[in-house]
Amino acid sequence: MNLKLQQLYHFTLVAEEKGFRNAASRANRSQAAISSSIKELERSLGQALFEHGNKARLTPFGKACLPRVQNMLIQADQLETDLFALARGEKGRIRVASIPSVASRLLPAVLAEFSAHYPDVEVELEDDTAERVEARLLRGEVDIALGNQVKESAVPKENSLAKKSHRVDFKLLLHDPIGVVCSRHHPLTQLYRPIHWKDLKQHNRIYNGTVRLLRNTPLHDLMEDARYRVSNMMSLYSMLEQGLGVTTLPQLATSAAHSELVWLPLKSPKLERAIGIQQLTDRTLSPQAQSFYDMCCYMLFDE
């Protein structure tokens, strides 16, 4: 770009102030410096901007240029403001993927705090299974992922290939214990003690996707032999409320909206899932995504 912003700015000042002296005062420059800047701009354009006999009067060419230059300078000022806001993480968009239990139980408080500090940052939140959340991160569809760490054996083939080219950084935030969920009127609630896996043998069981967290335990084999198998969590909650059986769920996955359900601690096997925040180590987070990442770590980290 041959034209300098400072020259264009000086041109608008002289036109608006109708004189070089006032323009120089407003720019905090000498009158000679302003005059030299205008002459250099006119040489670059090959046309006079001000009449020769009256240096404060615009030529027809100058009149045609003035609104265009003023508009461009307004845009340049806005661009500068936006760029600094982006650099400070005050504007822009972040894309987050999360497992449903974290998205519904933990993230609303984080989002409220984040929005209070960064009201002009847009947040795009998607919830899905842990495997799909990680897959979205690996494909670059989201900046940050929240969920439990996916074991290599549960990773789809395409995710495994992506993992070879990208390293996922998993930062532990908290541990979510796994327990038994049933209707508050179910006989298991009358035991008044932590549940042993053998307690479930005599009751109808409902298999759900989180049963994979029980792998390599006797309870996993028992749940594999469940009478019912469902994949939709709303259907699962309804079946449990109707007393059709019992299931196992992480504590966070037990919906607080279903008051007829209770979560009972599991003594044997004693299991928990590690919930963390993930990012790709070979990709730098945007300033606004970094701010959200830091806020999640601050608000969700459980010592």
Same fold, 5-87 and 175-273: no
Phi, psi (degrees; rounded to nearest 5) at 271? -130, 155
CA gap 70, 237 in Å, rounded: 62
Q: What is the pLDDT of residue 63?
A: 92
Stretch 229-238: mean pLDDT, rounded? 94
**Residue 111 pLDDT more than 80?**
yes
Backbone dihedral region for residue 192 (phi beyond 0: left; psi -120 to 50: alpha; all else: beta): left
Backbone angles phi, psi at 222, to 5 degrees: -65, -45
State the average pLDDT over residues 103-132. 94
Q: What is the pLDDT of residue 157?
A: 53
Res 83: pLDDT = 85
Report d(CA 301, CA 293) in Å as an integer: 11
* DSSP 8-class letter at 109: H
pLDDT above 60: residue 206: yes
21 pLDDT tier (thresholds 50, 70, 90): confident
Confidence of residue 2 (pLDDT cuts 50, 70, 90): confident
Q: What does DSSP say about strands 168-183 and 247-250: parallel, antiparallel, or unpaired?
A: antiparallel
pLDDT at 86: 78
Check whether 160 has a pLDDT greater than 90.
no
CATH of the domain spanning 5-87, picked from 3.40.50.300, 1.10.10.10, 3.40.50.920, 1.20.1090.10: 1.10.10.10
pLDDT score for 1: 62
Q: What residue has token string 């909650």?
A: 237
pLDDT over 90 at 302, yes or no: no
Confidence of residue 199 (pLDDT cuts 50, 70, 90): very high
Bridge partners of residue 66, in order along the sequence:
none
User: What is the spatial distance between Cα 142 and Cα 278, in angstroms, rounded to a whole number?
Assistant: 10
What's the fold here for domain 175-273? D-Maltodextrin-Binding Protein; domain 2 (3.40.190)
Say whether pLDDT at 259 is over 70: yes
Domain spans, the chain = 5-87, 175-273
Can you tell me which residue has the tokens 């549940």? 195
Residue 158 has pLDDT above 60, yes or no: no
